[in-house]
Amino acid sequence: MAYTLYGCGTTFRANTPLLPDGTFITTKWIVLFFVPIIPLGSYRVKHLGSTSEFHLTGFSSTSEYQIIQRVPWDTREVVKFASYILAIIIVFIAINVFVK
């Protein structure tokens, strides 16, 4: 199960096409404000549904997945994420250096 509250928690990020049996390979991540931070592993899963709720304390969402099996790390997803974070760091550094 993936669960976020205020954009923090865990989520699955899919990066493969749907397989004939209705499953797909995805990576489970710890997220902070909807940004993936730490990969927890890759899985072959089947999506069962999602729910979103507004509370007095905030917004939460839950996605239900049936985990079929754990698979080796999806290195393409992890490398893509690392490249994304590196680009953000470079932009942040450039802004701080050139704006002064």
Task: Return the pLDDT at 58.
Answer: 67
Residue type, 67: I
Are 42 and 72 in contact, with CB atoms under 8 Å apart? yes
Task: Return the pLDDT at 100.
Answer: 65
Are 74 and 58 in contact, with CB atoms under 8 Å apart? no
- Which residues on adjacent β-strands are paired with residue 50? 63
User: What is the total residue count of the chain?
Assistant: 100
> Would the pLDDT of 15 be above 80?
no
Task: Return the pLDDT at 70.
Answer: 92
C-alpha span between 53 and 62 (Å, rounded): 9
Task: Return the pLDDT at 57.
Answer: 67
C-alpha span between 5 and 82 (Å, rounded): 24
First to last CA, the chain: 45
Q: What does the pLDDT look like over 25-84, one tens digit per residue?
A: 888 889 888 888 888 989 998 888 877 777 666 677 777 888 899 999 878 878 888 888
Are 30 and 6 in contact, with CB atoms under 8 Å apart? no
pTM of the prediction?
Answer: 0.68
